Amino acid sequence: MKSQRTITRLRRIEGQVRGITKMLEEDRYCIDILHQMQAVKAALARAESEILKDHASHCVEDAIRSGNSEEQRGKVAELVDLFDKLKR
Protein backbone atom coordinates (compact mmCIF):
# COMPACT_ATOMS: atom_id res chain seq x y z
CA MET A 1 0.00 0.00 0.00
CA LYS A 2 1.69 3.19 -1.18
CA SER A 3 0.94 6.39 0.62
CA GLN A 4 -0.79 9.18 -1.28
CA ARG A 5 1.45 11.53 0.67
CA THR A 6 4.53 9.87 -0.82
CA ILE A 7 3.08 10.09 -4.33
CA THR A 8 2.36 13.78 -3.78
CA ARG A 9 5.91 14.29 -2.50
CA LEU A 10 7.36 12.56 -5.57
CA ARG A 11 5.28 14.71 -7.90
CA ARG A 12 6.58 17.80 -6.10
CA ILE A 13 10.14 16.50 -6.51
CA GLU A 14 9.47 15.97 -10.20
CA GLY A 15 8.50 19.64 -10.45
CA GLN A 16 11.61 20.67 -8.55
CA VAL A 17 13.80 18.71 -10.98
CA ARG A 18 12.10 20.38 -13.93
CA GLY A 19 12.79 23.70 -12.20
CA ILE A 20 16.47 22.85 -11.89
CA THR A 21 16.60 22.02 -15.59
CA LYS A 22 15.03 25.39 -16.36
CA MET A 23 17.53 27.12 -14.09
CA LEU A 24 20.37 25.47 -16.01
CA GLU A 25 18.85 26.44 -19.34
CA GLU A 26 18.56 30.02 -18.12
CA ASP A 27 22.19 29.96 -16.94
CA ARG A 28 21.20 30.81 -13.38
CA TYR A 29 23.72 31.25 -10.57
CA CYS A 30 25.40 27.92 -9.75
CA ILE A 31 24.94 28.21 -5.98
CA ASP A 32 21.18 28.71 -6.43
CA ILE A 33 21.05 25.59 -8.58
CA LEU A 34 23.05 23.63 -6.03
CA HIS A 35 20.68 24.74 -3.24
CA GLN A 36 17.76 23.45 -5.27
CA MET A 37 19.57 20.17 -5.88
CA GLN A 38 20.14 19.78 -2.14
CA ALA A 39 16.42 20.36 -1.56
CA VAL A 40 15.59 17.60 -4.07
CA LYS A 41 18.02 15.20 -2.40
CA ALA A 42 16.48 15.91 1.01
CA ALA A 43 12.96 15.44 -0.36
CA LEU A 44 13.97 12.13 -1.98
CA ALA A 45 15.45 10.97 1.33
CA ARG A 46 12.15 11.74 3.08
CA ALA A 47 10.20 9.85 0.41
CA GLU A 48 12.59 6.93 0.69
CA SER A 49 12.10 6.88 4.45
CA GLU A 50 8.31 6.87 4.07
CA ILE A 51 8.44 3.95 1.64
CA LEU A 52 10.79 2.02 3.94
CA LYS A 53 8.46 2.60 6.90
CA ASP A 54 5.54 1.44 4.76
CA HIS A 55 7.45 -1.70 3.79
CA ALA A 56 8.34 -2.46 7.40
CA SER A 57 4.83 -1.84 8.69
CA HIS A 58 3.08 -3.88 6.00
CA CYS A 59 5.26 -6.31 4.04
CA VAL A 60 7.66 -7.29 6.80
CA GLU A 61 4.92 -7.31 9.43
CA ASP A 62 2.77 -9.57 7.23
CA ALA A 63 5.69 -11.98 6.78
CA ILE A 64 6.23 -12.12 10.54
CA ARG A 65 2.54 -12.62 11.19
CA SER A 66 2.35 -15.39 8.55
CA GLY A 67 4.65 -17.67 10.51
CA ASN A 68 6.24 -18.72 7.22
CA SER A 69 9.95 -18.82 8.03
CA GLU A 70 10.97 -18.78 4.35
CA GLU A 71 8.95 -15.62 3.73
CA GLN A 72 10.36 -14.05 6.91
CA ARG A 73 13.94 -14.80 5.85
CA GLY A 74 13.20 -13.36 2.41
CA LYS A 75 11.96 -10.06 3.86
CA VAL A 76 14.94 -9.80 6.19
CA ALA A 77 17.29 -10.53 3.27
CA GLU A 78 15.61 -7.75 1.26
CA LEU A 79 16.22 -5.28 4.08
CA VAL A 80 19.84 -6.39 4.55
CA ASP A 81 20.46 -5.99 0.80
CA LEU A 82 18.86 -2.55 0.86
CA PHE A 83 20.95 -1.35 3.79
CA ASP A 84 24.06 -2.76 2.14
CA LYS A 85 23.32 -0.73 -1.00
CA LEU A 86 22.67 2.40 1.07
CA LYS A 87 26.14 2.16 2.62
CA ARG A 88 27.82 2.41 -0.80
DSSP for the chain? ---HHHHHHHHHHHHHHHHHHHHHHTT--HHHHHHHHHHHHHHHHHHHHHHHHHHIIIIIHHHHHH--HHHHHHHHHHHHHHHHHHH-
User: What residues make up the domain containing 70?
Assistant: 4-87
Taking the model in full, what pTM does it have?
0.78
Based on the structure, what is the number of domains in the chain? 1
Output the domain CATH number for residue 13: 1.20.58.1000
pLDDT of amino acid 40: 98
d(CA 8, CA 19): 17
pLDDT of amino acid 2: 63
Q: Angle 57-60-61 (CA atoms, 0-180°, nearest 5)?
A: 60
Q: Which of 22, 82, 35, 23 is nearest to 55 (CA)?
A: 82
pLDDT tens per residue across all 88 residues of the chain:
568 999 999 999 999 999 999 999 999 999 999 999 999 999 999 999 999 888 888 888 888 889 889 988 898 899 889 888 888 7
Residue type, 7: I
